[in-house]
Amino acid sequence: MKRALLILMALLAPPAWAHSDIKVTDLVLREMLPGVKSTAGYFTLTNHSDKPVALQSVTGKISTRIEIHEHLMENGMMQMQQVSDDIIIKPHQQLVFEPGGYHLMLFKPNKKIKKGEAFKLVLNFKTHKAVTVDGKVVSVLEQQQQKQHKHHH
């Protein structure tokens, strides 16, 4: 009886984490390679709310130019292009930025991006307040291992 009541309460009451209905995990930037003026970033975004959200842009102190890119097959060749439309994430849907798909491109960062460094990025949405996310700079190898690890689950 008591247990059933608890479950009912859990279903009716708004969860304690209701304020953070957009969850962003695994934000990484790839370490910058010598002689290259840009680098890529990846993360996983989950929309736990009951409304769709529209990701408009990503900003941060680390660079004045951060773009959202996607990979497209064109004439049998993998091409990369900037995403101009908002990315809509439906309720309870996940959006994964990963190699070969959506990714962040960071141009001319304000400092050298070195492995192990921490940084913050801000995700700007159309109808939702901006979300600040902590990230970590990883080496190309670490980033590949992280991806493989994820795919095992």
Number of residues that bind Cu ion (CB under 5 A): 3
Closest CA to 139 of 33, 16, 8: 33
Q: How many CB atoms lie within 10 A of CB 4?
A: 8
Regarding 71 and contact with Cu ion (CB under 5 A), the answer is no
Smallest distance, Å, CB 80 to Cu ion?
4
Regarding 83 and contact with Cu ion (CB under 5 A), the answer is no
In terms of phi and psi (left: phi > 0; alpha: psi -120 to 50; beta: otherwise), the region of 152 is alpha
Binding positions for Cu ion, 35-64, rule CB under 5 A: none
Rounded to whole angstroms, the Cα distance separating 33 from 26 reads: 21
Smallest distance, Å, CB 1 to Cu ion?
57
Regarding 147 and contact with Cu ion (CB under 5 A), the answer is no
Rounded to whole angstroms, the Cα distance separating 63 from 110 reads: 5
Q: How many CB atoms lie within 10 A of CB 18?
A: 10
Cα separations (Å) of 6 from 2, 15, 16, 18? 6, 13, 15, 18
Q: Return the number of the residue (75 or 82) whose C-beta is nearest Cu ion.
A: 82
Interface pick for Cu ion out of 105, 115, 136, 140 (rule CB under 5 A):
105
Assess contact for 58 and 132: CB atoms under 8 A: no
Regarding 72 and contact with Cu ion (CB under 5 A), the answer is no
Partner residues linked to 67 by β-bridges: 105
Piece in contact with Cu ion (CB under 5 A), picked from 54-62, 74-82, 106-114, 126-134: 74-82
Regarding 69 and contact with Cu ion (CB under 5 A), the answer is yes
Smallest distance, Å, CB 103 to Cu ion?
6
Q: Return the number of the residue (8 or 80) whose C-beta is nearest Cu ion.
A: 80
Where on the chain is the footprint of Cu ion (CB under 5 A)? 69, 80, 105
